[in-house]
Structure 1
Amino acid sequence: MTLLDSPTIDCVQQRIKRKLEDYVDDDLPSSDDDLVSVRMRKDDDLPSSTTTSTSFPHQFTTHFQPRASLFSLPDRIQFFVRMISQGKTLVLHGNPNDKIKTVHEMIHSATGIPVMEQRLIYGGKQLQWEHSLSHCRITNDAGLHLVGRMRSTVHPQAWQVIDDLVSIVCRLCKGERGVCPKSIKSRLSEFLNKTPKDGIDHAAPYLNIFLSSSAPAALVMLYMSPHNGNKECAEEAIQHFIKSSRNALPRPIYSEFAPIVLEFCKLLGRAAAHDDPLYRLCRSSLGSMVEFVKIGRSSKNYDVGSYKKVVIAVQEIVPFVDELASKLSEGLVSSMDPIVSYGPSASDVRDFAAFVRPLRDAIIDQVALGSLIPMHYNHNLHCYSDEVKFLYVLYHDLLAKLQLCLNKVEDLVQKEKGDGGWDQYLSILKELHNIAELYQGAEEYFWTNLRRNKVSLCYLIVRYAKRGEDYKWILEHKDLTDFESRRHLVMMLLPEVKDEYEELHEMLIDRSQLLAESFEYIAHADPETLRGGLFMEFKNEEATGPGVLREWFFLVCQAIFNPQNALFVACPNDRRRFFPNPASKVDPMHLEYFSFAGRVIALALMHKMQVGIVFDRAFFLQLAGLNVSLEDIKDADPYLYSSCKQILDMDPSAVDQDALGLTFVWEIEELGSMKVLELLPDGKHITVNSRNRKEYVDLLIRHRFVTSVSQQVRHFARGFADIVTDEEIQKLCFKSLELEDLDGMLHGSESAISVDEWKAHTEYNGYKETDPQIYWFWKIVHGMTAEQRKILLFFWTSVKYLPVEGFGGLASRLYIYKSNESLDRLPSSHTCFYRICFPAYPSLAVMQERLNVITQEHVGCSFGTW
Structure 2
Amino acid sequence: MSDAEEGSTNPRRWKFQFFVRMVWPERNLVMTAYPEETVKSVLAQIAWVTGMPLKELRVIYNGKQLQLEKTLEECGIENDCNLNIVGRLRSGLYPAASHTIDCVLSLLGQVWTCNTQRSCEALNTLTGLITRYFNLPGFVELFAASNAPAMLVAVYNKPCGARTGKLAESCITYFLSCARAKNSQSVSSGAVMEFCKQLRKIGRGRDDHLYVSCRNTLGHLLETIGVSYGSGSVKKRVSLHDVFSFVPELADRLLMGLDNSKQCRNITRPSLGDVLDFKTFLAPLRNQIILQQQLLRGFVSGDGNCSVEKDDDQLLAEEVDYLRLVFLRLLSTMDECFNCMAECMVDKEPGGKGFVLYPSWSMYLRILKELYDTSKVFDGAEEMFWTILRLHKNMLSALVVGFVRIGDEHRWILDNRSVTTFECRRHLAMVLFPIEREDFDMFHEMLIDRSQVLAESFEYIGGAKPESLRSGLFMEFKNEEATGPGVLREWFVLVCRGIFDSRHALFVACPNDCRRFYPNPASKVHPRHLEYFRFAGRVIALALSKKVQVGIVFDRVFFMQLAGIHVTLEDIRDADPYLYRSCKQILEMDANFIDSDALGLTFVREVEELGCRKVVELCPGGKSLVMNSHNREHYVDLLIQHCFVKSISEQVSNFAKGFADILSSSKVQEFFQRLELEDLDWMLHGSDNTISIEDWKAHTKYQGYEESDCEISWFWEIVGRMSAQQRRVLIFFWTSVKYLPVEGFRGLPSPLFICRTTEPSNRLPSSHTCFYQLCFPQYSSMAVMHDRFGVITQEHIACSFGTS
**TM-score, normalised on structure 2?**
0.80
Q: Does the alignment pair 1:436 with 2:365?
A: no
The question of whether the paired residues in 1 share the 8 Å contact of 2:152 and 2:168 is answered with: no
Find the partner of 1:205 among 124, 139, 155: 139
CA distance in 1, matches of 2:469, 2:12: 90
User: What are the equivalent positions in structure 2 for 1:204-603 lying under 5 Å apart?
Assistant: 205=139, 208-209=142-143, 212=146, 214=148, 217-218=151-152, 221-222=155-156, 225-228=159-162, 238-239=172-173, 241-242=175-176, 246=180, 249-250=181-182, 253-254=184-185, 256-270=187-201, 271-295=203-227, 299=229, 311-331=237-257, 344-364=270-290, 368-369=294-295, 385-387=314-316, 390-399=319-328, 401-403=330-332, 405-406=334-335, 409-410=338-339, 413=342, 416=345, 422-439=361-378, 441-448=380-387, 450-451=389-390, 453-454=392-393, 457-465=396-404, 467-468=406-407, 470-492=409-431, 494-501=432-439, 504-512=442-450, 513-528=452-467, 530-538=469-477, 541-603=480-542
Inter-CA distance 262–845: structure 2 relative to 1 (3 Å threshold)? same
Residue 534 of structure 1 deviates from its aligned partner by 4.2
Residue 478 of structure 1 deviates from its aligned partner by 0.9
Inter-CA distance 346–851: structure 2 relative to 1 (3 Å threshold)? same
What value does the CA root-mean-square deviation take over the aligned residues?
4.9
Report the counterpart of residue 717 of structure 1 in structure 2. 656
Q: Does the alignment pair 1:176 with 2:102?
A: no
Inter-CA distance 790–320: structure 2 relative to 1 (3 Å threshold)? same
Residue 598 of structure 1 deviates from its aligned partner by 2.6
Residue 797 of structure 1 deviates from its aligned partner by 1.8
Find the partner of 2:724 among 786, 789, 794: 786
**3-state DSSP of counterpart to 2:295:** coil
**3-state DSSP of counterpart to 2:446:** strand
Residue 99 of structure 1 deviates from its aligned partner by 4.6
Q: Which amino acid aligns with 1:781?
A: V
Inter-CA distance 163–405: structure 2 relative to 1 (3 Å threshold)? closer
Inter-CA distance 332–845: structure 2 relative to 1 (3 Å threshold)? closer
CA distance in 2, matches of 1:608, 1:225: 65
Q: Deviation digits for residues 644-701 of structure 1, max 9, x if unmatched?
A: 2233333444444444343322122222222221223332333333443333222211
Inter-CA distance 223–338: structure 2 relative to 1 (3 Å threshold)? closer
Residue 559 of structure 1 deviates from its aligned partner by 3.0
Report the counterpart of residue 811 of structure 1 in structure 2. 749
Inter-CA distance 369–101: structure 2 relative to 1 (3 Å threshold)? closer
Q: Which amino acid aligns with 1:353?
A: K
Report the counterpart of residue 640 of structure 1 in structure 2. 579
Q: Deviation digits for residues 50-76 of structure 1, max 9, x if unmatched?
A: 96844689x99689xxxxxxxxxxxxx
Inter-CA distance 851–669: structure 2 relative to 1 (3 Å threshold)? farther
* Greater Cα shift, 693-702 or 715-724: 715-724
CA distance in 2, matches of 1:642, 1:121: 97
Report the counterpart of residue 5 of structure 1 in structure 2. none
The question of whether the paired residues in 1 share the 8 Å contact of 2:729 and 2:794 is answered with: yes
Report the counterpart of residue 768 of structure 1 in structure 2. 706
CA distance in 2, matches of 1:680, 1:720: 31
User: What are the equivalent positions in structure 2 for 1:831-850 lying under 5 Å apart?
Assistant: 831-844=769-782, 846-850=784-788
Q: Deviation digits for residues 277-312 of structure 1, max 9, x if unmatched?
A: 33223222321220222426xx4578xxxx998842
CA distance in 2, matches of 1:280, 1:508: 56
CA distance in 1, matches of 2:704, 2:579: 60
Residue 240 of structure 1 deviates from its aligned partner by 5.4
**TM-score, normalised on structure 1?**
0.75
Residue 765 of structure 1 deviates from its aligned partner by 1.0
CA distance in 1, matches of 2:447, 2:280: 50
Inter-CA distance 308–698: structure 2 relative to 1 (3 Å threshold)? farther
Residue 833 of structure 1 deviates from its aligned partner by 1.9
CA distance in 1, matches of 2:561, 2:235: 46
Identity %: 44
The question of whether the paired residues in 2 share the 8 Å contact of 1:826 and 1:850 is answered with: yes
* Greater Cα shift, 280-289 or 152-161: 152-161
Residue 38 of structure 1 deviates from its aligned partner by 6.2
CA distance in 2, matches of 1:861, 1:390: 70
Residue 231 of structure 1 deviates from its aligned partner by 5.8
Residue 824 of structure 1 deviates from its aligned partner by 5.3
Residue 853 of structure 1 deviates from its aligned partner by 4.5
CA distance in 2, matches of 1:129, 1:744: 88
Report the counterpart of residue 77 of structure 1 in structure 2. none
User: What are the equivalent positions in structure 2 for 1:719-758 lying under 5 Å apart?
Assistant: 719-727=658-666, 729-758=667-696
**3-state DSSP of counterpart to 2:722:** coil
Residue 254 of structure 1 deviates from its aligned partner by 3.9
**3-state DSSP of counterpart to 1:312:** coil
CA distance in 1, matches of 2:66, 2:151: 34
CA distance in 1, matches of 2:265, 2:737: 45
Q: Which amino acid aligns with 1:676?
A: V
The question of whether the paired residues in 1 share the 8 Å contact of 2:111 and 2:119 is answered with: no
**3-state DSSP of counterpart to 2:626:** coil
Residue correspondences, number? 770
Q: Deviation digits for residues 72-118 of structure 1, max 9, x if unmatched?
A: xxxxxxxxxxxxxxxxxxxxx974x5557579999999xxx986696
Q: Deviation digits for residues 415-441 of structure 1, max 9, x if unmatched?
A: 845977654443333223323333555
Residue 573 of structure 1 deviates from its aligned partner by 0.9
Q: Which amino acid aligns with 1:259?
A: G
**3-state DSSP of counterpart to 2:245:** helix
CA distance in 1, matches of 2:750, 2:494: 22
CA distance in 2, matches of 1:853, 1:822: 17
Q: Which amino acid aligns with 1:319?
A: S
Q: Does the alignment pair 1:759 with 2:685?
A: no
Inter-CA distance 854–628: structure 2 relative to 1 (3 Å threshold)? same
User: What are the equivalent positions in structure 2 for 1:2-151 lying under 5 Å apart?
Assistant: 18=1, 53-54=19-20, 95=35, 99=38, 129-130=68-69
**3-state DSSP of counterpart to 2:516:** strand
Inter-CA distance 815–451: structure 2 relative to 1 (3 Å threshold)? closer
The question of whether the paired residues in 2 share the 8 Å contact of 1:747 and 1:801 is answered with: yes
**3-state DSSP of counterpart to 1:742:** helix
The question of whether the paired residues in 2 share the 8 Å contact of 1:571 and 1:636 is answered with: yes
